[in-house]
Amino acid sequence: MRASSFPVLALLLVSSLARAAEPLALSEDEFKMYQHYKLALADARVQAMKPEARVAAIAKDVGLKPKDLQKAIEKGEGAGDLKAICEANLKEAFARGDLAGRVGRLEVDTSAAHAVAYVQWLNEEPKALAIEASFAAARAVEACPIASTVTVWAQDKAAPKTRVFQALISASSARRIKADKVKDYAETRYLKLFEKVKNAANGDDLSGADGTPTAQP
């Protein structure tokens, strides 16, 4: 009985893990198109149009081909709750690796066409901040490919109210980071890809930093 139940339990475990990380049906560019369409529908001028004329008008407004916008709309409408999927994928991605057990906030803002992923963690060793930030950015864009920007920040684990690092990075730059190479290249290459970097380990003043860092370059 025990011997026969083990494969079943193992199979259930594998199945559960497989469901935890759900691939997204949309790319970053497709999400932008889809979200622009949804936001445009709230415009009184668009609402005054005949439904069959809206896609072409919105596409023309942003310089897209109607067929490309229509494809993005169809994919977006069939993709489910993109924010929920991204955030679930982030939790799965950060449940393992260098930041496992030290991640505080994982969130995705999909309210605008420019989606933003937010990652906050607790830092134990200041010398590791560049490595941890690079790892966080790489994992975030893998887990949430619709994000245009990743905003990262760290608090001191020994004094959680104390900010020790913050930065942001574009998704295109974050995709250049190899998570398995951050210990080799974080300081010399990857940190240069970030914008608005403030690092207490380098003497930057973060005493006034509080709340969520801006996602604007």
Report pLDDT for 12.
Answer: 39
Average pLDDT over residues 193-205: 95
Pairing of strands 115-123, 147-156: parallel
Report pLDDT for 210.
Answer: 81
Question: pLDDT class for 151, splitting at 50, 70, 90?
Answer: very high
DSSP letters of 3-48? HHHHHHHHHHHHHHHHHHSPPPS--HHHHHHHHHHHHHTTSHHHHT
Helix, strand, coil % (nearest 5) of the chain? Answer: 50, 20, 30
pLDDT in tens, 92-146: 999 999 999 999 999 999 999 999 999 999 999 999 999 999 999 999 999 999 9
Which of 20-34, 44-58, 149-163 bottoms out in mean pLDDT, i.e. has the lowest?
A: 20-34
Kindly report the pTM of this predicted structure.
Answer: 0.86
pLDDT in tens, 57-77: 999 998 999 999 999 999 999
Which residues lie closer than 8 Å to 185 by C-beta, 6 or more apart? 134, 178
Nearest to 150 by CA among 162, 165, 139, 160: 139
Three-point CA angle 69, 75, 79, nearest 5° = 145
Task: Give the span between the Cα atoms of 137 and 172, in whole angstroms.
Answer: 11
Q: Higher model confidence: residue 215 or residue 16?
A: 215
User: Computed over its alpha carbons, how large is the radius of gyration of the chain?
Assistant: 20
Report pLDDT for 20.
Answer: 53
